[in-house]
């Protein structure tokens, strides 16, 4: 299974309209699970950005229940996404416009790969 971008939503911290848009996408596409990036430090600690992500995921979970919302490690995903985009010839302003979307794909793909590996290990037992 491969992750691919669908749409990039702008965060609306004033009235959470992005959560409404995301909830509509979950329904429209019959999403079975949502992964929210958790920005931990390289020392695996949670700072203010991680606390914001956790609060966001909790608000989202309240809107899309019973669809589960999980937190996925997003350390170094922007670096990885920038590198991939550069290798594909996307640079400068064009890269800045899509790097968050590419990083989101990296987060989701890592989650999918980890889940597949877990299922494979369970199947070996």
pLDDT tens string 37-47: 998 877 888 88
Confidence (pTM): 0.80
User: HSE of 89 in the Cβ direction (CA atoms, 13 Å)?
Assistant: 0
Average of pLDDT values for 23-52? Answer: 91
The region of weakest confidence among 18-22, 63-67, 86-90 is 86-90
Helices (H), the chain: 17-28, 48-64, 77-87, 92-124
What structural domains and CATH numbers belong to the chain?
Answer: 17-124 (3.30.420.140)
Nearest-angstrom CA–CA distance, 73 and 80: 13
């Amino acid at each position: 299974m491969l992750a691919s971008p669908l749409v990039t939503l702008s965060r609306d911290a004033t009235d959470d309209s992005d959560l409404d848009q995301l909830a509509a996408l979950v329904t429209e596409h019959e999403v079975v699970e949502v992964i929210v990036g958790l920005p931990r430090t390289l020392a695996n600690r949670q700072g203010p950005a991680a606390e914001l992500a956790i609060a966001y995921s909790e608000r989202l979970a309240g809107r899309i229940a019973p669809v589960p919302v999980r937190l996925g490690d997003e350390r170094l995903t922007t670096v990885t996404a920038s590198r991939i985009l550069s290798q594909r010839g996307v640079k400068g302003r064009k890269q800045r416009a899509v790097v968050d979307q590419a990083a989101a794909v990296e987060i989701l793909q890592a989650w999918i790969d980890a889940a597949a590996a877990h299922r494979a290990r369970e199947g070996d037992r």
